[in-house]
Amino acid sequence: MAANPMYQFNVYRIGPEIKINNIDISFTNASLFMVISSLAILIIFNLGTKKSIIPNKIQLLAELSYSFISKMISDTAGSKAKPYFSFIFSLFMFVLFCNMFGMIPYSFTVTSHIIVTFVLAAFIFVGVTIIGFIKHGLGYLKLFVPSGVPMVLLPLIVVIEIISYLSRPISLSVRLFANMMAGHTMMKVFGGFVVSLGIVGGWLPLGFSVALTGLEILVAFLQAYVFAILTCIYLNDALNLHH
Amino acid sequence: MLKKIIFQFLALSLIFTYSAQSAESGGMPQLNPEFWISQIFWLVLTFGLLFIILSKFILPKISNNLETRKSQILENIETADKQREETEKKVKEFDKIINDTKVEAKNFFNSERQKVLDDINNKRLSLEKDIEKEIIKAEEEIDQLKKTSQEKVTKIAIETSSDLIKQLIGEDINKSSLSAIVEDLSKKEMEKHNGI
């Protein structure tokens, strides 16, 4: 492995180059980890569908995550968000598993790439906006006009609201991407210190590395949770227009 | 000496790391658009398939499982409640039966006791009556005896006195005068005896 802490984020082709209409859609290490994460989710949750009154461990895991996300959605977006449960569940699980697989040494973190998180966030943004316009028609634009604001401040507030609304996909994607990239870079840097300081001075960065691993596992879960809960909050804005 | 070696080692390794890093640094691979399309394509493919399979096949099963478990637990609780109520009812019935039987037993005992007492009373009464009758009879007999004994005594007295006189004197005496004397004496005796 190279000592460059950014080297771990390199995407390279696995297998032959696939091109459709001059567009490169080759199978890469990123694709590999997307496939692995999805397959892991499917296998674990498929094992969790066994029909028994007293659940076994995997079934308990599946059912607990089901009720966890179900509760999260009903707490933040209310009962109207029930049809979007499976999307948010898939989203949370996909991000969580990609983050967690990234924690395995020498693996690749799919969510540390801005393009991946941005596509997810943009899809959510577009979807939420469409849902909002379908549910409320042009009344959805009232989202940008908060109630109880003095008329003098209204032009300013509306502009701020529109900017904050439009920056949602960027903040959502950059939050996940930056967290994952920063964490993995930091771990790599400390790992590099362990190697370069050797047996004499390497113990301190090694300790840091261990501590950071724990922190990064926490961050991996937390960022998946934040990603999902922000999606719920955006969905809540679209479903229940409060302003 | 050791300090110097460590310091040199540290400095050397830092220089080595720095040079290695600067040699390979090519900025962030994330901003290299070479594989962007590929990543988007594979993301859409894998996430789309994941979403479809989860929402069509796996999540309904899990929610179904949760629902059936919930309903089964509720059902079980309901039947348990029902059975508990039934048991309480049965216990009440049981208590009532025991109470009833106790009251019945008491009543039975009382009535039997009354019967026995009545019986005893009746028997005593009839016995008393019999005794009274017997007493009256006996008294009558005694009265009779008293009357007859008087006459007999007088008769015996007359005969013995006549016999005595015959032996003493050797002569029969008029019986009627003798009987008058005896009657007179016995009357006197009777009066003395009766305390008149």
- Cα B77 to Cα A227: distance, rounded to the nearest angstrom: 39
Residues 6+ apart with CB under 8 A from A52: A59
pLDDT range class, residue B1, cuts 50, 70, 90:
low
| Least confident segment among A49-58, B4-13, B61-70 | B4-13
Cβ contacts of A11 on chain B, cutoff 8 Å: 29, 32, 34-35, 38-39
Q: Verify whether the Cβ–Cβ distance A197 to B13 is below 8 Å.
A: yes
Q: Cβ of A48 under 8 Å from any chain B Cβ?
A: yes
Which of these, A84, A75, A171, lies nearest to A127 by C-alpha position?
Answer: A84
A8 backbone dihedrals φ, ψ, rounded to 5°? -60, -20
B174-B180-B181 Cα angle (round to 5): 95
Domains identified in chain A, total number: 1
Given A23, A119, A197, which is nearest B10 (Cβ)? A197
pLDDT category at A43 given cuts 50, 70, 90 is very high
Tell me which of B173 and A165 has the higher pLDDT. A165
Asked if B63 reaches chain A (Cβ–Cβ under 8 Å), the answer is yes
Cβ distance A94 to B38 less than 8 Å, yes or no, reads no
pLDDT of residue B106: 95
Coil, helix or strand at residue A20: strand
* Contact call for A198 and B30, based on CB within 8 A: no
Residues 6 or more apart whose CB falls under 8 angstroms from that of B66 comprise: A63, A66, A67
- The average confidence (pLDDT) of chain A is 89
CA-closest candidate to residue A234, choices A171, A153, A177, A149? A171
Compute the mean pLDDT over every residue in chain B, rounded to the nearest whole number: 84
3-state DSSP assignment of residue A179: helix
At A184-225, the pLDDT tens digits run 999 988 888 888 888 888 888 899 999 999 999 999 999 999
* In chain B, domain spans: 58-194
**Which of B6, B16, B39 minimises the CB distance to A30?**
B39
Q: φ and ψ at A55, to 5 degrees?
A: -75, 150
Whether A2 is covered by a domain: the verdict is: no
Please choose, from the candidates A193, A227, A225, the residue with its C-alpha nearest in 3D space to the C-alpha of residue A207.
Answer: A193
d(Cα B181, Cα B183) in Å, to the nearest integer?
5
Candidates B34, B51, B61; nearest CB to A90: B51
ipTM of the complex: 0.90
Q: For residue A195, what are the domain limits?
A: 7-239
Q: What's the Cα-to-Cα distance from B109 to each of A230, B103, B114, rounded to whole Å?
A: 84, 10, 9
